Chains A and B, each alone.
Chain A
Amino acid sequence: MHSRLRAGWGVRLGAFGALVFLHFPLLIIILYAFTTEEASFRFPPPGLTTQWIGELFNREDFWRALGLSLQVAVIATLLALILGTLIALALARANFFGRDSISLLVILPIALPGIVSGIALRSAVSILGVPFSTWTIILGHATFCIVTVYNNVVARLRRTAHSQVEASMDLGASSFQTFRYIILPNITTALVAGGMLAFALSFDEVIVTTFTAGNQQTLPIWIFSQLTRPRDRPVTNVAALFVIAVTFIPIILAHQLTRDRRD
């Protein structure tokens, strides 16, 4: 295809090496989710089995953690969709002093190290005297979920011709009708993509969750706590497979949706 720009063997080998380095640990998890040997990482595994899937499914604490993770991710994503869209609508067309600073403030939670956000949220929640609960986790997640929604929606709004909005108002539509019939259809895929990324981010979040949770366990934290129980390692690996699936699929779909399809 790109015959003129063929990479040399060295570069290809390097690229292949980097890919292996990146994904080898994932392959290990997948492989040892099916091993017959519980406690050790002997290579090659003495045998393959699917018994750990069944065992995991019988673990009531796993289901509780998965349920909580899904609940948190769904609610945080919904919050982010509403708030992120509103901020994007306010900032996309406006041009006032300090607009860029506000935009930066919106994006900051995803740029800050999670540990900083975590400590900040924990102090804020304690000072306000709010008990740590599922809701504090959701709020913590919403802070960075908003960013992915905002970024996607604001980019789309900037690509949408403003004359469409004017045309709609010109033809008699109120601001709300214009949003409903013109803006919303234009940003739908951006919302879906932003929402999926937000969901994926929330679903495997550990650091902020550790700081904002009471004694609840989300799935990633449950997996982390499993490390102290070496005999459960294959079961944990199966759970990790779950996390991979639940976060990878939305990210790939989001990528597909936001590709530029202009021909």
Chain B
Amino acid sequence: MSAASRTDAEAAVVLKGVSKHFGGVKALDYIDLEIYDGEFFSMLGPSGSGKTTSLRIVAGFEQPTAGRVMLYGRDVTTTPPFDRDVNTVFQDYALFPHMTVEQNVGYGLMIRKVNRHEIQRRVGEMLEMVRLPGTQARRPSQLSGGQRQRIALARALINRPRVLLLDEPLGALDLKLRQQMQIELKAIQREVGITFIFVTHDQEEALTMSDRLAVFNHGRIEQIGAPADVYERPLTAFVAGFVGTTNILTDDIAQRLVGRPAALSIRPEKIRLLPQGTTPDPDQFAASGTVRDVIYVGMTTRFIVALDGGGELEVVSQNLDTRAEEAFAARGTPMVAVWHKSAMRELSTAGA
């Protein structure tokens, strides 16, 4: 089902050497990207990383300074937005305030001169799909944030585009509603079976929803891959730190562990704290230190360990059998931190 696993999948969107400069600012710096037909693809990155600019270039709202944009094999680099087979869900929803829900959702069909009955029927279908049936006569101002979001989605999908672009569509919603919409968006994508390109700065959202994701930083893509791939095998320090949290070991400790200077990434949840004096297995690394702080987070406990050779290590352990009192009792005690060699990644220092 995952489009990412298909090697011969047709490319829905291809960006070839795309750059975008705003005055002296390089918003995008030579991006190469291939998005497959039918996949849920996320563009993840902090603000100003170039993810929204990439999306706007695919939509046609921006022209790249250099490079080509292909949509299903067709070069659309200079094609205006209204001639592209893509539709967008905007961050601020961009609903038309002077129109009813029915006129908003049916706008694309009205422009294409579809007859009135057909428009009414299809608007009804779309409202059914986004689970807001019967809201035809309302105005956007009479809807809640979550409802506006759904109307924006219905309006973008009614044209049956081949690619749907979503620009941080869940950003304005509260946490519960956001999680609910994440599940619904995935369900809708499976139902309509078209390519979704989803821009977000929320790594958890990207990990939850995507078939594949691209991590943007400073106008470049640092890594592209399936969520588990990117999380387990980050290529750069930026990716390791932006997607999830991580410990980065350098200098002396790296020298001691792998015998040469390097930047090493180890996820907090991959480390176990054992009593002082425990000898690690041959396939494990170990570092001794003292628990400096204990933060109890309910489901898990975070330990901050001050390493003997200098530096700190964050360790997260699930509160499987541990009670809170036991966890707190660890504060100030010397421990050995142990992890599997395979859980640690060596990072390229170029992107850091």
User: Known contacts A166-B81, A170-B88, A172-B159: does B111 contact A186 (CB below 8 Å)?
Assistant: no
A128 within 8 Å of B by Cβ? no
| A residues less than 8 Å from B91 (CB atoms) | 163
Instruction: Give the distance in Å from the alpha carbon of A177 to the alpha carbon of B80 in the complex.
Output: 14
Kindly state the separation between the CA atoms of A173 and B82 in the bound complex, as whole angstroms: 6
Do the beta carbons of A169 and B80 come within 8 Å of each other? yes
Residue from A166, A172, A185 in contact with B111 in the complex, judged by beta carbons closer than 8 Å: A172
Chain A CB count within 10 A is highest, among B86, B91, B94, B156, for B94
- For residue A161, CB closer than 8 A to chain B, the reply is yes
Q: How large is the interface on B (under 10, 10 to 19, 20 to 34, 35 or more residues)?
A: 20 to 34
**Are A173 and B111 in contact, CB atoms less than 8 angstroms apart?**
yes
For residue B121, CB closer than 8 A to chain A, the reply is no
**Nearest CB of chain A from residue B104's CB, rounded to whole Å:** 9
Interface residues of A in 150-185 (CB under 8 A from B): 161, 163-164, 166-174, 177, 181-182, 185
Which residues of B sit under 8 angstroms from A167, Cβ to Cβ?
88, 90, 94-96, 155
Mark contacts of B61-76 with chain A using CB atoms, 8 A cut-off: 1 yes-contact digit, 0 otherwise. 1000000000000000
A204 → chain B closest CB, angstroms: 34
Q: Are A164 and B82 in contact (CB under 8 A)?
A: no
Q: Which residues of A contact B289 (CB under 8 A)?
A: none
Q: Could you say which residues of chain B place their CB within 8 Å of the CB of A161? A: 92, 94
Cross-chain contact B98 with A186 (CB below 8 angstroms): yes
Chain B hits for A169, CB < 8 A: 60-61, 80-82
Question: Is B59 part of the binding interface, using a Cβ–Cβ cutoff of 8 Å?
Answer: yes
In the complex where A166-B81, A171-B87 touch, is A185 in contact with B98 (Cβ < 8 A)?
Answer: yes
User: Does the CB pair A171–B94 fall under 8 Å?
Assistant: no
B339 within 8 A of A: no
Q: Chain A nearest CB: distance from B90 CB in Å?
A: 5
**How far does the Cβ of B230 sit from chain A's closest Cβ, in whole Å?**
30
Which residues of chain B are within 8 angstroms of A168 by Cβ–Cβ distance?
96, 107
Question: Does B323 make an interface contact (CB < 8 A)?
Answer: no
A183 to B90, CA, bound (A): 18
CB-CB contacts below 8 Å: A117-174 with B: 161, 163-164, 166-174
Closest to A174 in B: B82
Q: In the complex, what residue of chain B is closest to A160 when comparing beta carbons? A: B97
Q: A166-B81, A169-B80, A170-B59 in contact; A182/B96 too (CB < 8 A)?
A: yes
B108 at the interface (CB under 8 A from A): yes
Contact of B90 (CB < 8 Å), options: A166, A177, A181, A185? A166
How many Å lie between the Cα of A171 and that of B161 in the bound state?
10
B112 within 8 A of A: yes
Contact of A163 among B94, B107, B111, B112 (CB under 8 A): B94
Residues of chain A with a CB closer than 8 A to B111's CB: 171-173, 177, 181
Q: A166-B61, A185-B98, A186-B98 are in contact. Are A171 and B90 (CB under 8 A)?
A: no
Are A166 and B94 interface neighbours, CB within 8 A? Answer: yes
Nearest to B56 among chain A residues (CB) is A166
B100 to chain A, nearest CB (A): 13
Interface pair A170/B92, CB less than 8 Å apart? no
Smallest CB-CB separation from B158: which chain A residue?
A: A171
CB distance from A53 to the nearest CB of B (A): 43
Report the minimal beta-carbon distance from B106 to chain A, rounded to whole angstroms. Answer: 10
B contact residues around A163 at 8 Å (CB): 90-92, 94
Chain B residue, CB-CB nearest to A166: B61
Which residues from chain A contact B108 at a C-beta distance below 8 Å? 171-172
Contacts of A182 in B (CB 8 A): 96
In Å, the complex CA distance between A163 and B89 comes to 10
Chain A window 170-211, contacts with chain B (Cβ cutoff 8 Å), 1 for yes, 0 for no: 111110010001100110000000000000000000000000
Show 12 A/B contacts (Cβ-Cβ < 8 Å), sorted by A: A163-B91, A163-B92, A164-B94, A167-B94, A170-B61, A171-B87, A171-B107, A172-B112, A172-B159, A173-B82, A173-B111, A181-B111
19 more contacts with CB within 8 A, not counting A167-B88, A167-B95, are: A163-B94, A166-B90, A166-B94, A167-B90, A167-B94, A168-B107, A169-B60, A169-B80, A169-B81, A170-B59, A170-B60, A170-B81, A170-B88, A170-B156, A171-B87, A171-B107, A171-B108, A173-B107, A173-B111
Q: List residues of chain A with CB under 8 Å of any chain B CB.
A: 161, 163-164, 166-174, 177, 181-182, 185-186
Q: Which 9 A-B residue pairings sit nearest by Cβ, starting from the closest?
A: A163-B94, A171-B108, A167-B94, A169-B81, A185-B98, A172-B111, A173-B111, A170-B88, A163-B90
